[in-house]
Amino acid sequence: MEQLPIESRLAGRKQKELFEIIRRAGTVSKIELLERSGLTGSTLTRALEELTAYGIIKEAGFGESTGGRRPILYETNPGYAYAFGLDISRMHTRLSLFDLTLKRLSSRHWHMTERLTPPVLLEQIAEAASAMLSNLSLAPSSVLGMGIGAVGPLDRETGVLLDPLYFPSSGWGNLPIQAMLEERLGFPVMLDNGANAALLGESWMDRDRDYRHLLYVHAGVGLRSAMMSGGKVVYGAVDMEGSIGQMIIQTDGPRLLDQGNFGSLESYASIHALELQARSRLKQGRDSLLLRMESDPDKIQFAHLQQALRETDPLTVELFTQAATYFGIGLSNLLNILHPEKVILGGSLISSHSGFFHIATRIAIQRAYYYPKYQVVFSQGSLGEEAVATGAALMVVGKLTEPG
C-alpha cells in the first residue's frame, strides 16, 4: 500500500464526505447515499466506483426492494487499513489493534510499575505492535498509524507529555512520546489526552443518537474531563484534561499530596483521596476489615478498599459514599455551566461500585439549577476499559476524511 499522509489517501472532498457517510452508517444503500450526500446520480456513481477501486469500501449485497430493482448496499472495507490505539494512564497501559470499522482484533495490557519507565514501556509497546501484526499476517504498510490517549497535561501539536503527575515510575515529564514511537514503529503517531480520546470513542459508539453536546468525566487516580459541542471536541488554550480536579469545593479544605488547589474536588473524590481518608480514619482508631487485610494503615491501597467494599465494610462504604457525594456536587457545577445533553462517567472509581454512580448522579441532578426543565442523560458508556484505546484509534481513522 502506498505510504501517503493519512489525510491525502482520499483525493477529493466529495470522496471524503461520501466515505464519512458510509463509515458512520455501517451499511447503507445507494438510494440512501443519494439522499444524504446531495450528489447527482452520475457524480455519486463515479465517486462510489472510485472508492470501491481504492478498496476502502465494498459492495455488501442488495437491500430490500421498494418496487423496483433491489438497491446495492455499500459498507466500509475493514481490511483496507488498520489502526492502533494506545491508552497510557497512571495505573495501566493498553494497546489495541483495530480494523477500519473499529473492530478490535488484538490487545495487550500492562500494569504500570516503577520499573516501566518510558524507554522500557515504549520498547515493549513497539514489540507488541509488531507481534500483533505478525500474528494476524498483516504488513506494517497496512497500518494507518497509532493514536495515543494519555494522561495530561500534554501538547498534542508537538506530541509531548508535559508534566503528568502520580506515575509510579520517573521520566514522564517533557517526554516527546510521539516522536519516540514514530521512530520505533515507522508509521504516523498522534497524541491527545485520554479523556478526549475516550469521549471520541464513546461518541462513535453512540453516533446513531446524534448527541451534539457531550461531557465525559473520568474518575480514577485523578479526575479528567472532556467536552464535545456541535459534534467536535472542545479544545482550550492549554490542555484542559485535569481542570475538573482543581474545581474548588471548599476553600479551606485539604490539598491533595501538596499539589493543586486547597479544597479541590480531587482532594475529596479520587483514588488518592480515598486512600488518604482510609489511612487517616484507621489511625484515628476506626474499626474496619481493612486492618485484617493490612495491619499498617500507611500501606492501605485502593485494591484493599475495593475488597472491603465488596464485603460491605461499614467504614469503606462510608468513605465511598462521601466521595460520591462530593463528586456529584462537582458534576452539578459542570451541569450548571455547560448544560450537556449527555454525561458519560468512566474510570476505576466509577466502575468499582455501582452505588458510586447512582449517588453521584442523584446529587448532580438534585442540584442542577434548571431541573426538571433541563434534562440530562447519565451513562457509564459502552466501551468500558477500551474507551481510550478505541478513541485513540478513531483519531487516526478520522484523518482519512480531513482536508489534505
Residue 234 is part of a domain; what is its CATH number? 3.30.420.40
Q: Which three cell numbers stand for residue 262?
A: 486547597
Domain ranges, residue 69 = 6-76
- CATH of residue 26's domain is 1.10.10.10
Residue 288 counted as domain residue: yes
Residues 217 and 345 in one domain: yes
Q: Which helix (H) or strand (E) holds 134?
A: helix 118-135
Domain boundary among 76, 95, 123: 76
Residue 213: strand, helix, or coil: strand
User: Quick one: 120 and 243 in the same domain?
Assistant: no
Calpha distance 348→277 (Å, rounded) = 17
What mean pLDDT comes out for the span 56-73?
A: 77
Q: Do 139 and 275 sit in the same domain of this protein?
A: no
SS3 275: helix
Average pLDDT, the chain: 90
DSSP secondary structure letter of residue 248: B
pLDDT in tens, 190-213: 999 999 999 999 999 888 787 889
220, 338: one domain: yes
Between CA 360 and CA 320 the distance in angstroms is 10
- Tell whether the model's pLDDT for residue 67 goes beyond 70: no
Sheet holding 143-150, edge to edge: 104-111, 92-99, 82-88, 143-150, 189-193
235 is a domain residue: yes
- Tally of CB atoms within 10 A around 163: 11
For residues 18 and 38, state if they share a domain. yes
Question: Is 1 within the bounds of a domain?
Answer: no
Query: What's the rounded mean pLDDT across residues 360-372?
Result: 89
Is residue 274 assigned to a domain? yes
Buried b (16+ CB within 10 A) or exposed e, 7-43: eebbeeebbbbbbebbbebeebbbebbbeebebeeee
Q: Are residues 258 and 320 in the same domain?
A: yes
Which residue, of 42, 76, 110, is where some domain finishes? Answer: 76
Residue 138, domain member (yes or no)? yes
Q: Is the pTM of this model over 0.85?
A: yes
The mean per-residue pLDDT over the stretch 130-144 comes to: 96
What does the pLDDT read at residue 206? 85
Q: Are residues 94 and 192 in the same domain?
A: yes
Is 294 among the domain residues? yes
Q: Which of 34, 50, 76 is the last residue of a domain?
A: 76
Same domain, yes or no: 374 and 392: no
- Claim to verify: residue 261 and residue 374 sit in the same structural domain: yes
**Does residue 141 contact residue 78 with C-beta atoms inside 8 Å?**
no
Residue 101: inside a domain = yes
Set of cell numbers at residue 243? 481542570
Residue with cell 484523518: 399
Q: Which residue has the cell 472542545?
A: 234
- Split into its structural domains, the chain has a count of 3
Task: Give the burial string for 113-135 (b: 16+ CB within 10 Å, else e).
Answer: eeebebeebbeebbebbeebbee
pLDDT of residue 62: 75
Residues 390 and 376 in one domain: no
User: Residue 6 in contact with residue 398, Cβ under 8 Å?
Assistant: no
User: Burial letters for 271-310: b for 16+ Cβ neighbours within 10 Å, e otherwise?
Assistant: bbbbbbbbbebbeeeeebbbbebeeebeebebebbbebbe
d(CA 78, CA 108): 21
Given a cut of 60, whether residue 90 has pLDDT beyond it is yes
Please compute the mean of the pLDDT values over residues 36-52 and round it to a whole number: 87
Quickly state the pLDDT bin for 1 (edges 50, 70, 90): very low
pLDDT (tens digit per residue) in 369-402: 887 888 899 999 889 889 999 999 999 999 998 8
Question: Are 149 and 221 in the same domain?
Answer: no
60 and 14 both lie in a single domain: yes
Q: Is residue 272 part of a domain?
A: yes
DSSP secondary structure, 59-124, as one string? EEEE---SSSSPPEEEEE-TTS-EEEEEEE-SSEEEEEEEETT--EEEEEEEE--TT--HHHHHHH
